[in-house]
């Protein structure tokens, strides 16, 4: 026989069909093909056909089916309160930076628009003073503008 079947030492699960190695010295001496010995955790016995939902495992002297273990669903990651605070504060800082007038030099603003930006930036600075402020992100400028200064 020029092949064998091996299994994992720990789980006993079928690893697959392997080709046997030829022993070159013994083959030369004998004048015909001589294979190396059967490795540990291997057999010449052919395993059964694969079946969905089952592993094929070695059971001391024969192959048998073993129902596959289902991996438990991973628990969804829930950030700590401190992580939430850091994330929301970082987002708030980003919004502050993106509405900094020094960042808007190329954008022509009239006095009313500048006043709106100052009011929005004050909203952002005050944001972390609210109760449970870390539970949601502060509004973007456009969201804040619609909520606090609706048109019409």
pLDDT at 149 over 70: yes
**SS3 per residue for the chain:** CCEEEEECCCCCEEEEEEECCECHHHHHHHCCCCECCCCCCEECCCCCCCCCCEEEEECCCCEEEEECCCCCCCCCCCCCHHHHHHHHHHHHHHHHHHCCHHHHCCCCCCHHHHHHHHHHHHHHHHHCCCCCHHHCCCCCHHHHHHHHCCCC
Tokens representing residue 95 in the block = 């919004």
Domain range list for the chain: 3-67, 81-148
Average pLDDT, the chain: 89
Q: Above pLDDT 90, what percent of the chain?
A: 64
Q: Looking at the predicted structure, is the pLDDT value of residue 13 above 90? A: yes
Mean pLDDT of 111-128: 90
Residue 80, pLDDT score: 93
- pLDDT > 70 in the chain, percent: 94
Mean pLDDT of 117-131: 92
Q: At residue 25, does pLDDT exceed 80?
A: yes
Q: Stretch 25-51: mean pLDDT, rounded?
A: 91
Q: Does position 103 have pLDDT exceeding 90, yes or no? A: no
Mean pLDDT on 137-145 = 93
- pTM, entire model: 0.50
Position 104 pLDDT exceeds 60: no
């Amino acid at each position: 026989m020029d092949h064998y079947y091996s299994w994992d030492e720990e789980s006993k699960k079928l690893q697959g069909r392997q080709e046997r190695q030829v022993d070159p010295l013994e083959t030369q001496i004998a004048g015909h093909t001589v294979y190396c010995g059967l490795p540990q955790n291997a057999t010449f016995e052919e395993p059964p056909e694969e079946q969905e939902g089952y592993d094929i495992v070695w059971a001391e002297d024969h192959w048998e089916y073993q129902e596959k273990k289902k991996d438990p669903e991973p628990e969804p990651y829930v950030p700590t309160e401190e992580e939430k605070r850091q994330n929301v504060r970082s987002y708030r800082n980003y919004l502050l930076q993106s509405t900094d007038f020094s960042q808007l030099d190329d954008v022509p603003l009239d006095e009313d628009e500048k006043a709106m930006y100052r009011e929005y930036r004050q909203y952002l600075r005050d944001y972390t003073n609210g109760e449970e402020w870390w539970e949601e992100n502060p509004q973007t400028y456009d969201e804040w503008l619609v909520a606090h200064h609706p048109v019409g």
